[in-house]
Structure 1
Amino acid sequence: MKIYRNLEDFIPLDNAVVTIGTFDGVHVGHQKILSTLRESAKACKGETVLLTFFPHPRLILHPEDDSLRIISDFDEKVHRLADAGIDHLIITPFTRDFSNLSPEEYIREVLIGKIGTKKIVIGYDHRFGKDRTGSLKDLLDYADIYGYSVEQIPEQDINDVAVSSTKIREALIKGDIDTANTYLGYPFQLTGKVIRGDQLGRRIGYPTANLLVQESHKLIPAYGIYAVETAIIEPAHIETGPYIAHPPEHVIYGMGYIGTRPTVDGVGRSIEVHLFDFNSDIYGKTIRVKFLDFIRHDRWFESMEELIQQMKMDEQQVLAFFDRTSG
């Protein structure tokens, strides 16, 4: 997959088959749309192009609204789209000027002038242009004028995207990792840098890597204990050009914690991972944590001794989960 950080970097293709969207999570609903896109391009011997935006349009159009929570950060989304077999990914900066293009300007200047669209694969509810006034009807009305065809994604597939996104978010908020991962088609993950904590975990026999998630709008699952897989990765610096996937990862099993540590201080949220059979210094490293199973919700204990006893039981449950799934 080739990546372009701006429409200006893209050289229009002779036979571009295009779809557009945020594709947050690149979950099973999105994967059906991407499958349609690939099949359509294969049928007409074209190349697939996915046009997406950064930052998320809601952050530009409604900066006062802080409710946006995304399923995948930028690097995670790129990784999933590469796995989906997209030929070209255009990540265009979303600005007020861009949002003020009329529907016809959007079609003429962006889809035709910048991309060379010969076919667009899009859903019935897709909106674009100034005040989101552009619709499927506009795309169909201008098709003959600008020399492209339109393939409408079935309404059921579009509904599957909305249903999947909603169910993933609801499940993560409740700690229902099984449901979230089923709708994602892969394990939910958090990516961030390991920072120094107060070393409490080390003092009680459970040293942890404290994770700083740098994407401020990333959805964080329910507070509690999880079975996790962790890998140390190189942070992505994605520029224009071919996407280079992360090298094979050395997976480390562990026990994850999200919460406010109510027994200790109860101030501020912590995201921590206790890694099994691992004692290397990884401060400053970037790690990816995959959430595989939910063990219990976060809660207050009357003493540190009671907390430590519970953590020992949590560890046994996590180890039992890995024993079951590794066989």
Structure 2
Amino acid sequence: MSDILKWGILGCSKFALEHMLPAMQLAKNNKCIAIATSDTLKAKPFLEINSDINIYNDYNDLLNDINVDAVYIPLPNHLHVEWTKRAILAGKHVLCEKPIALNAKDIDELIKLRDQSGLLVAEAYMILHHPQWSYAKKLLKSGAIGNLVQVDGVFSYNNANDSNNIRNHSISGGGSLLDIGVYTFGSTRFMTDEDPEKITQTSINWENDVDVWSSVSAQFQTFKFLGVTSMRMHPRQEMNFHGSDGLIRLTSPFNPQVFGEAEVHFFSGKEMQSIKKFTTENHYVKQLETFYSTISTGSEYICNLEFSKGTQQMIDMVFEHEASSKL
């Protein structure tokens, strides 16, 4: 392939404008060359960032552009599987926003299409590209905190006054678990290389068939997990890995560019032993650079579809547990 991965974006989402297009401008070996939107007026702010972008008013026209190597999909959640399939069949590599599917079984077909095509298809799970996570995992695996006993995490924000937000609509695959539960669940699985054996407790608040707050407890093979996600609380994010001899805390684990400087705190004995700060890292840029290098070298992608399926399976287990508890 060429030394530039040429991207097309499906839709003019706010997230694509604020995070992914700027990242494509900064990332080595990456460039956005096309955007498809049903409303060309929405493309105007994108053109203010990069005036060379081609604008299509039909998604399929972008997929048929032979100059586009890869497609980024930030569409509403319920459209992710459909357009990921179409992009693969058009011969494009795909980076799709999370959740890439609304249930785990739908990811199986994406895995099959990926394997048949030889293309790179992945969920845009940007956090694993931030070096704080590889640092924290190395610390955990070193035995620095002894035996891992409990993992607890929280991710919250408040969009109660944003009635047009797709996260507040069940028809578009909204809800806090699909939107941000993927981070507390997935980061736990990444750090420990374990999957939950069972969900032991769920408590969910619903508004118009959308989960707006949840508390989830789970039993993994060697530790217990407790996670809280909410779209109705003051913004907060934190992950703690609590062992018999110490504690690892990530103070801004999921979107440090927005929430604050990423730090990994290590406690042992009666005091904090170290603070590792990550001041200038942009995980969106690193995600794109890793995507390119994976394609060019054939190396294994850190967040493959199998990993995404495992996290979605945990979300499916939560909803199944909640439904059975109401019987």
TM-score bracket relative to the smaller structure: under 0.3
Normalised by the length of structure 1, the TM-score is 0.25
Normalised by the length of structure 2, the TM-score is 0.25
Q: Larger Cα Rg: Structure 1 or Structure 2?
A: 1
More strand by percentage? 2
